Amino acid sequence: MDLITGFIAFFIALSVHEASHAFASDKLGDPTAKAMGRLTLNPLAHIDLFGTILLPIILLFSSGGAIAFGYAKPVMVNIYNFRRPSRDNFLTAIAGPVSNLLFALILSLIIRALPSVSFLIILLQVNVVLAVFNLLPIPPLDGSKVWHLILSDENYLTLERYGPFILIAMLLFSASTGNFLLNIVSTISNFLIQGL
């Protein structure tokens, strides 16, 4: 039941995240994601069979429940449709984590009115995890788009090419980074649940 509950929360948070990318992209002048049916909260539009379902299950069982990681189908963006490509690409990317934090804030208000609904706490925590993790400035995470504001296109594309390897290495070999992120997630979650 815990696994099913976690997946439901993950699907909901992921849908909010990806739909927000599509919404921001459309409002900034690029209709690509909207045309591909990604401007929706329907999880089926965002689920990647391997990244959203199989990978988290494999990691959960291989790590004894200690690690779970997954991803959705990427929202396609054509930056050449934007009025200011570097800025609008960053704003589109950052819309995902910001939406998760806003959703977590709304959930915190509901939790204070309905404190016995434990699923809402899980959903809040998953949203905070998605936001914090995706704000890391490492490609292909959303936070990496900040580099597009300060690097040349050539250097930015080079960073994007090697970013996934950097991210995987960090996840595999840096327990201290994991603990640091966990502390941030715990602090924000506890504040939202107890501190408002």
Q: Which residues are part of the catalytic machinery?
A: 18
Cα separations in angstroms, 135 against 11, 128, 174 = 19, 11, 17
Q: How far is CA 107 from the centre of its chain?
A: 17
As given in the structure block, the two tokens for residue 121 are 């706490």
| Residue 5, token pair as written in the block | 């509950």
> What totals of helices (H) and strands (E) does the chain contain, helices first?
8, 0
Specify the DSSP element, H or E, that contains 68. Answer: none
Write the CB contacts of 58 (distance below 8 Å, at least 6 apart in sequence): none
Say which residues have a Cβ less than 8 Å from residue 114's Cβ, sequence separation at least 6.
Answer: 120
Check if the beta carbon of residue 195 is closer than 8 Å to that of residue 104. no
Q: For the chain, where are the alpha helices, taking DSSP H only? A: 2-27, 32-35, 55-62, 85-113, 118-134, 147-150, 153-173, 175-190
According to DSSP, residue 64 is labeled T
